[in-house]
């Protein structure tokens, strides 16, 4: 099936008891057994639930993988991958990283003896410089949050395979509509499902998608044992959201392109981070591994300090000043004090996350209203 058809149908069959076309919300914690151990594939809803299973099958189909696992948040999905590691293991990751990922790496798992290397991965060969016998995982985002660095997934995957190291790719910013890391060699694809997959800012969820059966069994054991699994209502909401993913992503990309071009020439704007520009670092890599360039854009307010940047961020009428991204509504975010506040200032600024940087999640509203809103806020 093509992408749009998978988004609407994958993992979902008419309900066998009623014929319902939409997957029911199986609001149950436990399941009847004919005799001990003799059941219909469901025992207890921490481990699995029919609504969640349908979602996991759909997620796997969208990323062209065999297996999907849904978690109660993106951080719960990230945590499950980290729990594959042991004291003494090492992880190579990017120097421009979602603040929550940086926090869980440095404040939680580093204290258990896992070592993290935060590296500029715009040149994939830098990965090779940090690989040693203790390296067990490479964790990358592309595009990165918030400076939209593009990392060559296929090149990193080749290095990972040659060294027998797992590669996990956070594909949240691109969504499966724009990019499929597994097809480029990744072992694990991670999503904050809260974002584009859910698409309506009404649910928090994460997911892992992968092919290897043994790795899936290890992750499923963590998933079931630790219990960071979502309920059926959230699973239903994401299934519903995914049905319009292909339509929404087209609109996000179209609006994102117009806004990036508007910002590029605006006198109050300094630097614009959007991988669709020919002068964006690794633009050719983005063209190769992505189908379009998305609706995530960051920009600096020219010559502005924190006070001026805050004024601009607080002056929008259509864009909402809020954390998160990927919903139908447009959002503006100040990474240094919001999504990336857990990263030390010096570390943030080395990656380009300065006090005058703002990040846009461009929604699917009328483009003229969005452009007018930007123009008004930047004039103040």
**Which residues have a catalytic role annotated?**
46, 98, 170, 195
Distances (CA, A) of 6 to 62, 78, 243, 248, 311: 7, 25, 9, 15, 43
283: three-class secondary structure by DSSP: helix
For residues 24 and 16, the answer to whether their CB atoms sit within 8 Å is: no
Q: How far apart are CA 252 and CA 333, in angstroms?
A: 17
Question: CA–CA separation, 56 vs 47, rounded Å?
Answer: 13
Question: Helix H segments across the chain?
Answer: 3-9, 50-62, 74-82, 99-103, 125-130, 153-162, 175-178, 213-226, 232-242, 245-264, 283-289, 306-313, 345-350, 367-379
Q: Give me 112's structure tokens.
A: 């258990």
CA distances from residue 218 to 20, 80, 139, 140, 206 in whole angstroms, order as listed: 34, 10, 18, 21, 17
CB-based contacts of 35: which residues, under 8 Å, 6+ apart? none
Query: What is the C-alpha to C-alpha distance for residues 63 and 59, in angstroms, rounded to an integer?
Result: 7
3-state helix, strand and coil shares in percent for the chain, rounded to the nearest 5: 40, 15, 45
CA nearest neighbour of 170 among 73, 228, 98, 103: 98
DSSP assigned state of 361: E
Q: Which residue has tokens 């939409």?
A: 22
Contacts of residue 262, Cβ cutoff 8 Å, sequence gap at least 6 = 371, 374
């Amino acid at each position: 099936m093509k992408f749009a058809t998978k988004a609407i149908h994958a993992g979902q069959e008419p309900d066998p008891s009623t014929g319902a076309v939409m997957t029911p919300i199986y609001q149950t914690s436990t399941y009847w057994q004919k005799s001990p151990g003799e059941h219909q594939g469901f025992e207890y809803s921490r481990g699995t639930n029919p609504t969640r299973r349908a979602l996991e099958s759909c997620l796997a189909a969208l990323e062209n993988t065999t297996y999907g696992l849904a978690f109660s948040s993106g951080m719960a999905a990230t945590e499950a991958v980290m729990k594959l590691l042991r004291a003494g293991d090492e992880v190579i990751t990017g120097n421009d990283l979602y603040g929550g990922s940086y926090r869980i790496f440095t404040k939680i798992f580093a204290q258990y003896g896992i070592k993290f290397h935060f590296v500029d991965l715009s040149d994939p060969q830098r990965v090779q410089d940090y690989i040693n016998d203790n390296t067990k995982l490479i964790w990358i985002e592309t595009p990165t949050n918030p400076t939209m660095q593009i990392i060559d997934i296929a090149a990193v995957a080749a290095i990972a395979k040659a060294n027998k190291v797992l590669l996990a790719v956070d594909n949240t910013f691109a969504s499966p509509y724009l990019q499929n890391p597994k097809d480029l060699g990744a072992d694990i694809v991670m999503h904050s499902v809260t974002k584009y997959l859910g698409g309506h800012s009404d649910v928090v969820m994460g997911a892992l998608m992968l092919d290897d059966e043994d790795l899936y069994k290890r992750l499923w054991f963590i998933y079931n044992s630790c219990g960071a699994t979502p309920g059926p209502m959230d699973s239903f909401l994401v299934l519903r959201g995914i049905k319009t993913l292909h339509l929404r992503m087209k609109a996000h990309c179209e609006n994102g392109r117009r806004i990036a071009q508007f910002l590029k020439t605006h006198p109050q704007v300094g630097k614009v981070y959007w991988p669709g520009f020919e002068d964006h670092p690794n633009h050719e890599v983005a063209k190769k591994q992505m189908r379009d360039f998305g609706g995530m854009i960051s920009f600096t307010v020219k010559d502005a300090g924190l006070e001026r940047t805050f004024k601009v961020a607080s002056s929008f009428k259509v864009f909402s000043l809020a954390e998160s991204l990927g919903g139908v509504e447009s959002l503006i975010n100040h990474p240094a004090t919001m999504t990336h506040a857990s990263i030390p200032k010096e570390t943030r600024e080395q990656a380009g996350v300065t006090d005058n940087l703002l990040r846009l999640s461009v929604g699917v509203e009328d483009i003229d209203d969005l452009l007018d809103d930007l123009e008004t806020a930047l004039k103040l």
